[in-house]
Amino acid sequence: MSEISKLDLSLVLKKIDKGTLNIQVLHNEMLVSLAGQFNQNLIELEKVTGAKIFFRGNSITIKGSTEKITQASEAIKFLANKFLLTNIIEKSDILLSVKKEINSEKSTNIRSLEQLIKTPRKSVIARSEKQSDYIKALKENDIVISLGPAGTGKSFLAVSVAVTLLMEKKIDRVILSRPAVEAGEKLGFLPGDMKEKVDPYLRPLYDALYELFGADKIDKKIDSGEIEIAPLAFMRGRTLKNCFAILDEAQNATETQIKMFLTRIGENSKLVVNGDPSQIDLLNKSHSGLIKSREILKDLKEIKVIEFDHKDVVRHPLVSKIIRAYQKKH
C-alpha cells in the first residue's frame, strides 16, 4: 500500500449539513501535528480560508460556505498526506496547503508530494507545480536549465537533490559553481585564497546545505573534496564524471561560458544551470548567455528547461507581489 493511499485509513469525512463538514482523524500522531501546538495550525488555517474550524477529541469540524469548507478540507487532506510522508507538518505547509487548493487544476495537493526529497534534517516537497516539474527534471534529466526570480527554490532544490544523491553514493562528487565576476568585482582584487574569494558568492548554496544536512557533515564533505567549490572559469578543460554540478547565478555568465560548462558533462553526471534574467550584474547586460542558451537548447529533448515566475515564489507572500510589480514596470 502506498503512503498516499493510507489517507483513506486516517481521515473519515462526513457532511453534517450544507454548511458543516466533520473530519475524524484516526491517526493520533497525525491529529497532534494537524492541530499544532495550542491548535496554532488550525487557527492559522481558519485565517487563510475564512472557514470556522472547531477541534474536539479526534474530530475537526469545519463550518462556512461550500467554497470555504472545500478549501479547508482539501488543505487538511494535503497536510495529512504531508505527515504520512514526512512525519512532520511545518508552519509553512499551512499556507502552501491552501495555495495548492486555490491554484489546483487537478489534485495538485497529491502531486506536490510525489516529488519528495528526503534529507537527514528534513523532507523537502514541491511548493508549486513548477517546483514539482523541476524536481522531476533534476532526477530524470542529465541537463536542466532553470530560469526565474529569486525565491522560487531553484538553488535550494538543486542542492537538495545533488547532496541526497551524494549521500546515497549514486555519485562521487557535487560541484558548486558561479561566475566569478559580479556587481563589478573581480576575484583578483578580493582578499584571500580561492575558496575565501568564491565563498561569499555561494552563500545561498551553503545556507541550503547546512539547513538540510548540518554544518559538520557538509564541512567534512568539503574537506574531503566530495563537495567542491569552484569558480566557473576553473571548469575549463575538465570532464565531469560521476558528479552533480550546479552553475548558480548563470545570468552573469556569457553564452561561451555556459557552453563551456555544459560541454564538461561526462559519464553518470548531471549538470544544472540556474539563473534570474532580471538580475544581470554584467556591465553589458546583452552579454548574458542565459536566455540565449535557453533559446539555442530548448529543442534538445535530453535537456529540460524550466521557467519559474512570481507565482512560484515560496518566500514571504510580499516577495511575489514585489516581483510582479517590477515586471509590470518593464
The alpha helices in the chain, defined as continuous H runs, are 7-10, 28-35, 40-49, 66-86, 91-103, 108-114, 129-140, 154-167, 194-198, 203-213, 215-224, 255-262, 290-297, 317-329
Say what the pLDDT of residue 304 is. 95
Cell of 42: 488550525
| Length of the chain, in residues | 330
**Burial of 239 from C-beta contacts in 10 A (0-12 / 13-18 / 19+):** exposed
Q: Which domains, ranges and CATH numbers included, belong to the chain?
A: 4-107 (3.30.1370.10), 124-315+322-329 (3.40.50.300)
Q: How far is residue 221 CA from its own chain's centroid?
A: 22
Q: Please determine, for residue 190, whether its predicted confidence score (pLDDT) is greater than 50.
A: no
Q: Please determine, for residue 184, whether its predicted confidence score (pLDDT) is greater than 70.
A: no
Say what the pLDDT of residue 4 is. 47
**Burial of 259 from C-beta contacts in 10 A (0-12 / 13-18 / 19+):** middle
Which range, of 20-24, 92-96, 115-119, 182-186, averages the lowest pLDDT?
182-186
Question: Percent of the chain scored above 70 by pLDDT?
Answer: 83
Number of CB atoms found within 10 A of residue 230's CB: 18
Q: How confident is the model at residue 102 (pLDDT cuts 50, 70, 90)?
A: very low
Is residue 89 within 8 Å of residue 122, measured between CB atoms?
no
Say what the pLDDT of residue 192 is. 54
Say what the pLDDT of residue 233 is. 82
Q: What is the pLDDT of residues 211-241, one digit of tens each?
A: 888 888 888 998 999 999 888 888 888 889 9
Is residue 145 within 8 Å of residue 304, measured between CB atoms?
yes
Number of CB atoms found within 10 A of residue 59's CB: 14
Is residue 263 within 8 Å of residue 238, measured between CB atoms?
no
Say what the pLDDT of residue 112 is. 54
Mean pLDDT rounded to a whole number for the chain: 83
Place of cell 542542492: 159
Say what the pLDDT of residue 1 is. 44
* Cross-strand pairs, 17: 20
DSSP run (H or E) holding 13: strand 11-17
Q: What is the pLDDT of residues 235-246, one digit of tens each?
A: 888 889 999 999
Number of CB atoms found within 10 A of residue 250's CB: 28
Q: What is the mean pLDDT of residues 3-21?
A: 80
Q: What is the DSSP letter of 90?
A: -
Q: How confident is the model at residue 85 (pLDDT cuts 50, 70, 90)?
A: confident
What is d(CA 169, CA 298) in angstroms, rounded to the nearest whole number?
Answer: 31
Q: What is the pLDDT of residues 252-288, one digit of tens each?
A: 999 999 999 999 999 999 999 999 998 888 888 888 8
Contacts of 300 by beta carbon, 8 Å cutoff, 6+ apart:
none
Q: What is the pLDDT of residues 147-174, one digit of tens each?
A: 999 888 899 999 999 988 998 999 999 9
Better pLDDT: 99 or 153: 153
Q: Please determine, for residue 93, whether its predicted confidence score (pLDDT) is greater than 60.
A: yes
